[in-house]
Amino acid sequence: MKDRKRKPRSDALRNHDRLIEAAKDVLGKGGPDASLEAVARQAGVGIGTLYRHFPSREALFHAVFRRELELLVETAEGLADGPEPVAALRGWLHEYVVLVETKRGMLGALSMVMAEESKQAYAELSARIISAVNRLLQKAADAGHAREDVTAEELLQVVYALCYAREPGPDWRAQVLHLLDIFVEGLKR
């Protein structure tokens, strides 16, 4: 008889998702030293449940970061077919700023545990993001709504520069999004 791996129970899947959402919030605000007990509490589970799903702090960080990248890819791919390419691009960039905010809170921990295997997984997701954003840019350019000489890589560099030009604080996101909106207006033809 072969050993078969059972599918996770629906409550286990819900707990897993709630833990990732709670970790995004708690770790994004508290950084690498944020309390895992606070993550479990916000998710409505015990600390043992957290450790059953994520055996280490680093595993939890990677799960949050990977989930955020996957959502960014899905969002960009979905927006590429929309009727308003510049509005779609702006909306996607706003989502990207949220990822940077989360990552910024976890940056120290992520950089310490970034193994070669993790870099490979993130490289594949990054390539998909670049491809989808290039499609958004091309669609906006083809419609005559945006410059044709901007690449996804350049756009993402600008977003990072805007994000890291501001010190973290309660108004950080609003300030970065305001600057980003000014930049997007400059992309228009």
pLDDT in tens, 47-103: 999 999 999 888 888 888 888 888 888 888 888 777 888 888 898 999 888 888 777
* Residue 182 or 110, more confident: 182
Q: Whole-angstrom Cα distance, residue 176 to residue 173?
A: 5
Query: Three-state SS across 88-128?
Result: HHHHHHHHHHHHHHHHHHHHHHHHHHCCHHHHHHHHHHHHH
pLDDT tens digits along 139-167: 889 988 889 999 999 999 998 899 888 88
What is this structure's pTM? 0.74
Handedness of CA 47, 51, 52, 58 (dihedral sign): positive
For residue 112, name the pLDDT band (cuts at 50, 70, 90): very low
Handedness of CA 159, 160, 165, 168 (dihedral sign): positive
pLDDT score of 46 more than 90? yes
Please report the pLDDT score of residue 175 as a whole number.
92
pLDDT tens digits along 115-138: 566 677 788 888 988 998 999 899
For residue 6, name the pLDDT band (cuts at 50, 70, 90): low
